[in-house]
Amino acid sequence: MRVAVVVAHPAVESFCHHLASRAVTGLRAAGHDVTVLDLCADGFRVAMSATEREAYHGDTPVLDPLVAAHAEVVRNAETLVFVYPTWWSGLPAVLKGWLERVLVPGVAFVFDERTGRVRPGLGGVRHIVGISTYGSPRSYVSLVNDNGRRIITRALRMSCGIRTRTHWIGLYAIDTSTDTERREFAARVERELAALR
Amino acid sequence: MTRALVVYCHPVETSFVAAVRDRAVAGLQRAGADIRVTDLHADGFDPAFTADEHVNHLRPGPDPSVAESASDLAWCDTLVLVYPTWWSAQPAMLKGWIDRVWVSGVAWSLPPGSNRLRPELRNVRRLVAVTTHGSPKWINMLEGEAGKRTLTRSLRSMCHPLSRTTWLAMYGVDTSSERRRTAFLDRVERRLARLA
């Protein structure tokens, strides 16, 4: 499978980057073709600009070459993997901005101006995988609705095909987690991604 | 007197959301509130949380570049967020304002050895979202209303324990009539005039 791994953490030495590399190891061991999109390292611009917003519903909504390159990776991907820290129960701004600027009409969905309906454009995606770390314990995460997970597994899922499957691998209460727990979690990430078919 | 901080987020000044902001401010003025407005795009707010901020994220106090935003947040008793809902939540720019301004020593503190944050924004007694959705309400319900829950649960949990939330949302903007949009603008002004 062609797999896109989207990483959103500003620090290269972060645990998220370690998880991303373990995910890539697992995927490559299973013979998948992996492309890593490291948003912070690439200097991906977070906010949609005024010109991008004005072009959004036009024929060419993609104006930035980096966005165009990422959109091409997404168009070809059969699996999308997101690795990020959950902040304020949601996606880090840079990952939210990636959804807004890369998954535009013509890439993730087709917007029919006449009927006002949105048709999914990512029918070729077989799996969506979320790998996230949380500061809070799982009970609190559920209480506040795990909003980042909702965006990935529901809002983004709606732009995919009927058979697209979602998988979630979360490490909760990371601030009080032990070395052993983190090691086991990283091993689980590698194992589960190697098992993806 | 109500101290209202309006955080407005839309890149295009001629957008419908800009009109919504104007009517929200008009409503607060009618109520006699003391108002501060932050326009994230016009102010050139940088929404990217840096590696440096990550390293220091437990140290109390905001990054010097967002100190003014943090003092506005500590000043207000009513926080009004005006934004378009994109991918079922706040735009990245506004999420970046949350990521960078609602930090340790401003919005929360973490007692040593704990994983439960302690709320520090007890001054905020009312949280208001004024937002537009391109898609109809049922789609947003299926998607889990991530933006709404971020406000009413996640952000609210760091404010005053008895703080109240107000959700003023227009759904299906993409296919809306002029009449519905006007009605929404009127509703926003009326509702915010009654807040204080």
Q: Which residues of chain A have pLDDT under 50?
A: none
Helices (H), chain B: 16-30, 51-55, 67-75, 92-101, 137-142, 146-149, 178-193
Interchain proximity A100–B91, CB inside 8 Å: yes
Domain boundaries, chain A: 2-194
Q: What is the ipTM of this complex?
A: 0.96
A157, amino acid identity: R
Interface test with B, best of A38, A48, A51 (most B CBs within 10 A): A48
Distance of CA A173 to the CA centre of its chain: 21
Residues 6+ apart with CB under 8 A from B129: B80, B81, B83, B147, B148, B151, B165, B166, B167, B168, B169
- Confidence at residue A45, expressed as pLDDT on a 0 to 100 scale: 98
The top-level CATH class assigned to A2-194 is alpha beta
CA distance A83 to A7: 5
- Confidence at residue A115, expressed as pLDDT on a 0 to 100 scale: 76
pTM of the predicted model over 0.90: yes
Q: How many residues in chain B?
A: 196
pLDDT tens-digit profile of A109-161? 988 777 767 889 999 999 999 999 999 999 999 999 999 999 999 999 999 99
Chain A from 114 to 173: CB within 8 A of any B CB: 116, 118, 135-137, 140, 143-145, 147-148, 150-151, 154-156, 158, 173
Chain A closest CA to B14's CA: distance in Å?
10
- Confidence at residue B196, expressed as pLDDT on a 0 to 100 scale: 64
* Assigned token pair, B17: 């959301």
Q: Nearest to residue B165, comparing CAs of B124, B107, B134?
A: B124
- Confidence at residue A65, expressed as pLDDT on a 0 to 100 scale: 98
CATH number of the domain that residue B153 is part of: 3.40.50.360
Distance of CA B167 to the CA centre of its chain: 11
CA distance B187 to B192: 8
Q: Which residues of chain B have pLDDT under 70?
A: 196
Beta strands per DSSP E along A105-161: 109-112, 117-120, 127-134
Q: Give, rounded to a whole angstrom, the gap between the first and last alpha carbons of chain A.
A: 8
Q: Which domain holds residue B106?
A: 3-193
- Confidence at residue A61, expressed as pLDDT on a 0 to 100 scale: 96
- Count of domains for chain B: 1
CA distance A155 to A95: 14
> Hunting for tokens 């980096």 — which residue is that?
A66
Q: Calculate the alpha carbon distances from B110 to A135, A148, B52, B57 in Å.
A: 10, 22, 19, 11
